[in-house]
Amino acid sequence: MARDANRRRAVRKLAVIGLEEVYLFAGFVFAGFAVQSARDRSNPRRFGTAAFWGLFSTSFLLGSHLPDSANGALALALVLLGGFHALGKGGERTTSEAVRRASATEYGNALFVPALIIPATALLGTVALKNVAPGGMPFIDAKQATLISLALGVAIAWIVALLWLRPRLLAPLDEGRRLMDTIGWAAVLPQMLASLGAVFALAGVGRAVGLVFAHYIPFDHAFTAIAAYCIGMGVFTAIMGNAFAAFPVMTAAIGLPLIVHKFGGDPAIMGAIGMLSGFCGTLTTPMAANFNIVPAALLELPDRYAVIKAQLPTAILLLAANTILMYVLVFRFGAHHA
C-alpha cells in the first residue's frame, strides 16, 4: 500500500488532478456528514453514526499517508460500528414534503439535469479529458480518467444545482447525509467486498477451493467443469456480494486450470460469461447492498428483501442460460474437450 501511495503521488506531480484530489473531495464530504450527525439530536445513535463517517472520512483524507496497520485498524473499527448497530437515522429534513412537491411541479423533468450532468461528465472526461495537456501537463491522470471525471461530474452538478435552485448553502450536504443515514453502513460494503477479492487472490484461496472441488466433484467432462464454474461464480458472488471479488477465486480454482488448460476453452469467452454468471448471484444476495437493500430502503418498502425476491426467478434462469451458453461458445474454435 505504501508503494501504491508513492506511485500515486508521483503521478500527481505529472497531472493537475489525480486520485489524491478525488480522495480529498470525498473525505471532506464524509467529514461533513460526521459533523452533521454529531449535531443531530433527532438521531438516537448520533455519536456512533458520527464516529462511523468520521473514520470513513479519515481513510480518504489520510489513508495514503497511514501505514497498512492503521488502515486495517480503521477498517476493523468500521466493521465493529456497523456490526454492533451503532449507526442510526436522523429525522432532520432540509425541506417539507409540500415544498418538495411544489418544486417538482415548478421544474418538472428539468430537475433531472444535475443528476444527468454526472454521467455525462464522466463519459466526456473519459473520452476527451485524458488527452488534454495544457502546457505539456496532463489535466487528469489518464489511468484514472473515469473515476476522476465522475468526481468532477459530482462537483459540477453540485455547483449547477446551487446556482440554479438556490437552496441553502449546506442543503446538498444535508440531503447527502440524509441519504447516507438511510443507507447506513451498507454504503461502504461494495468497496470492502471488492478489496476482499484481492486479499483472497493473494492468500491463495482460489487454489484451496480448487482442491476442494477436485476432491468431491469428478471433472471428467467439460460440462461438469463449466457448470461448477458458473454456479460457483453465482454462489461465491452471493456470499461475497461482489462478482469482481468472486472472479479471481473461481477462475484460479476452476476456470484456468480446467476450462482453459485441461479442456482448451477460450479464456476471453470464459471470463465474460463467468462474470455474467457472477452477476446472477448479485441479484440474490443482501450482501450486494447497493443493488438490493439500498433500493428497498430508499423506496421505504415494508419488506427489505422485496427486491431480492422479485429478482430471484430471473437470476436462476439467467444462470442456467449462461451455463449452457458457455458450453456452446467457449470451445467454438474447435479446442479439444472430453
Which triple of cell numbers denotes residue 99?
Answer: 415544498
Q: Is residue 255 helix, strand or coil?
A: helix
C-alpha 16/C-alpha 30 separation (Å) is 23
| pLDDT averaged per 10 residues, the chain (length 338) | 51 66 91 91 89 92 87 88 85 73 86 91 84 70 83 91 86 84 78 71 72 73 92 89 83 88 90 93 85 77 87 95 94 58
DSSP 9-56: HHHHTT-SB-HHHHHHHHHHHHHHHHHHHHH-TT-TTHHHHHHHHHHH
Q: Which residues of 297-311 are buried (b: 16+ CB within 10 A; e: fewer)?
A: beeeeeeeeebbeeb
pLDDT given at position 333: 56
C-alpha 233/C-alpha 319 separation (Å) is 10
pLDDT given at position 156: 93
Domains of the chain by residue range = 97-167, 204-329
Q: Is residue 174 helix, strand or coil?
A: helix
Q: Which residue has the cell 477465486?
A: 249
Which triple of cell numbers denotes residue 273?
Answer: 460469461
DSSP summary character for residue 95:
S
Q: Is residue 45 helix, strand or coil?
A: coil
CB 286 within 8 A of CB 293: yes
C-alpha 161/C-alpha 115 separation (Å) is 9
CB 258 within 8 A of CB 302: no
DSSP 96-157: -HHHHHHHHHHHGGGGGHHHHHHHHHHHHHHHTGGG--GGG--SB-GGGHHHHHHHHHHHHH
DSSP summary character for residue 288:
S
Residue type, 277: S
Enter the pTM of the model.
Answer: 0.69
* Count of helices and strands (H, E) across the chain: 15, 0
pLDDT given at position 47: 93
- Number of neighbours of residue 327 by Cβ within 10 angstroms: 19
DSSP summary character for residue 184:
G
pLDDT given at position 334: 47
pLDDT given at position 323: 95
pLDDT given at position 278: 93
φ, ψ of residue 17 in degrees (nearest 5): -125, 125
pLDDT given at position 11: 45
